[in-house]
Structure 1
Amino acid sequence: MAGENGAGPAQGSPETTLRPAEPPRLAVSSPVLILGGPSPAASELSQRLRGIDVKVLLASSAEAARQAIQVETPELFVVDARSSRQVSDMEQVLQDLRSSADPSAVLHWFDAGIELESVLRAVHPQDDHMAGAITVQEALRRLHFITARLPQRSEGERLLVGDLELDTAARTVRRGGRDIDLSDTEFRLLRLLMLHARTVLPKAEILQQVWEYEFAGQANIVELYISYVRKKIEADMPRMIHTVRGAGYVLRAAESSTAGSLSAPSAASG
């Protein structure tokens, strides 16, 4: 299959068996707020999110949520409206929070027997919902797909790894003061690597997050686009994207860089 740069899959590459990414990382830089009372499932979900380097805020009431968002700006809410929690009460809490925190999307967790009318009233078009008996792994999968379709926030984000800079608002990439022109797919791939700088990402996970399974089973497409991005960001400069044999790829600041860490995403200046 031809790539965006007009080249086909690399010839002679060994067959690669893809391992499922368990669990998928989320392409978010801000915390996830879990709203609802204590429960084993909510506790497991928060532990799993923290295990993939996602900051989690827990709130059992509207007041607790308001206090949490005074110092944080969550993009995603998980609203647990199961068991003893009244859906109408959670709707009011969420309505209040939408007006102040403006989450990009919400994953609603309802009891299995909830009436359709209640679901339609609570769920916005960008949201998702699931029944009470669903597994935590499925909740993580749904959160992944929610984040994959989220628009970039209006102020954008600016990622820095060493002397490499990516600005999502301006849609620009620079290294050492030099502008780098990337295709859309190359840009998404580089952003993923920068969001998880110093973390080895398996090919299966890169396929999942950049292509959303469109090229599932074709591991060579990852190798191909890694080579495209490498050529552009490493031209006559120290290497940043490293292959970890049998594991995947990792982006690190070049040894000669003076700024060697990933900055927190920040508002892009005009």
Structure 2
Amino acid sequence: MRTEPDPQTEPHSEAPTAPDPAVSSDGDDPPAMRIASPVLICGGPSPAKSELAGRLRGLDVKVLDSPGAEHLESLLSTEEPRLAVVDVRARRRVSELPRAVGTLRGAPAGCTCLFWFDGDAEPPEILDLRRADDDHSVGTVDVEDSLVRLHLLSEALPEDPGDRFVVGDLELDVAARTVRRSGRDIDLSDTEFRLLRLLMRHARTVLPKTEILHEVWQYEFAGQANIVELYISYLRKKIEAERPKMIHTVRGAGYVLRPADPDLRDTAATDQ
């Protein structure tokens, strides 16, 4: 049975890049890879885990990490991921596996799982963990295959009627992943979408930069609050184009999203 290389002895290699979406064998554009949820990866350190995390971040997907069941419940309640990768291979297995899986099953937002099994896993072991809406792979982990599986699991996630936000003439639908203002569609990147969702969820409440950084990037850019300013600027350009302002800077405190004053036409959004 082929086993995964140990991270201590595995030679360093450059992280693979995502396939060029412009290249297609039949001349048609392939469907875009989209994973509309943060992904929680549960398991010990491994090359596959590191590579998958890097590839997900390259797709602008927020990645959460939990080596075991400890603190998993609080992580699920604060971050609300709806997808999890659970490593159950003998050398990489998430600690306290039954407790961890039980916690995932009871997650507030519901969590669909992709399980990584060893090549010699028997059907009873697989069936003991999997549910009908889960997925699994057996043997050496193929990260590209895992990305495709997560994409398909994301597509099949049930709609959450509570994941729709309306502030003034701005609407955001998480399940459909759409943003509209005054009936006009607005195209956002995944990071812009997560940022706007956070602002709309806490509409009329001032959010400090540190809180935004933690909620949207989970300290990936710790100490780099300028990334928040940059994406706030991106959002303003898209949702306030030729429209009254909605995102306001509170000097020394943070940012707040409020319904627009229809009598104002200030679209410059210069208060970065």
Structure-2-length-normalised TM-score:
0.54
Q: Per-residue deviation at 1:32?
A: 1.2
Cross-structure match for 2:27 = 17
Note the C-alpha offset of 1:140: 0.4
1:165 counterpart (160, 168, 171): 171
Instruction: Specify whether residues 41 and 198 from structure 1 end up closer, same or farther in structure 2 by C-alpha distance, changes over 3 A only.
Output: same
Q: Take 1:197 and 1:70, find their aligned partners in 2: how far apart are those partners?
A: 20
Q: C-alpha displacement at 1:89, in angstroms?
A: 4.3
What is residue 239 of structure 2 aligned with on the other side? Answer: 253
Match of 1:129 among 131, 136, 139: 136
- When residues 100 and 175 of structure 1 are mapped into structure 2, their CA distance, relative to the original with a 3 A threshold, is closer
User: Mind listing any 5+ residue stretches in structure 2 that lack a counterpart?
Assistant: 1-25, 194-236, 249-272
Q: Which residue of 2 aligns with 1:141?
A: 148
**Structure 1 residue aligned with 2:39, among 25, 32, 43?**
32
1:79 to 70, 82, 86: 86
Matched position secondary structure for 2:85: strand
Letter of the structure 1 residue corresponding to residue 171 of structure 2: E
* Whole-angstrom distance in 2 between the partners of 1:92 and 1:70: 16
* Residues 50-107 of structure 1: per-residue CA shift (max 9 Å, x gap): 1111111101110142342242111111101113255894233211332244533111
Residues 217-236 of structure 1 aligned to structure 2 (within 5 Å): none
C-alpha deviations, 1:186-242, integer Å up to 9, x for none? Answer: xxxx69x4564879xxxxxxxxxxxxxxxxxxxxxxxxxxxxxxxxxxxxxxxxxxx
Distance 2:101 2:161 in 1: 22
CA RMSD of aligned residues (A): 3.8
Who is 2:119 aligned against?
112
Aligned residues of 1:36 and 1:59 also touching (Cα < 8 A): yes
Q: 1:44 aligns with which of 51, 70, 81?
A: 51
Q: What is the number of equivalent residue pairs in this alignment?
A: 180
Matches of 1:170 and 1:96, distance apart in 2:
27
Given the superposition, is the C-alpha separation of residues 156 and 115 from structure 1 closer, same or farther in structure 2, using an over 3 Å criterion? same
CA shift for structure 1 position 155:
1.3
Paired letter, 2:126: V
Choose which of 59, 68, 71 in structure 2 pairs with 1:61: 68
Separation of aligned partners in 2, 1:171 and 1:58 = 24
Identity over aligned pairs, percent: 39
The question of whether the paired residues in 2 share the 8 Å contact of 1:163 and 1:259 is answered with: no
Contact 2:48/2:143 (8 A) holds in 1:
yes
Compared with structure 1, are the counterparts of its residues 169 and 142 closer, same or farther at alpha carbon in structure 2 (3 Å cutoff)?
Answer: closer
Letter matched to residue 143 of structure 1: L
1:99 equivalenced with 2:109 (yes/no)? no
In the aligned structure 1, how far is the partner of 2:174 from the partner of 2:66?
Answer: 31
Partner amino acid, structure 1, of 2:148: R
Structure 1 residues 44 and 121, CA, compared in 2 at 3 Å: closer, same or farther?
same
Alpha-carbon distance, 1:150 to partner: 0.9
With over 3 angstroms needed to count, the CA separation of the structure-2 counterparts of 1:39 and 1:260, relative to structure 1, is same
Q: Secondary structure at the match of 1:146?
A: helix
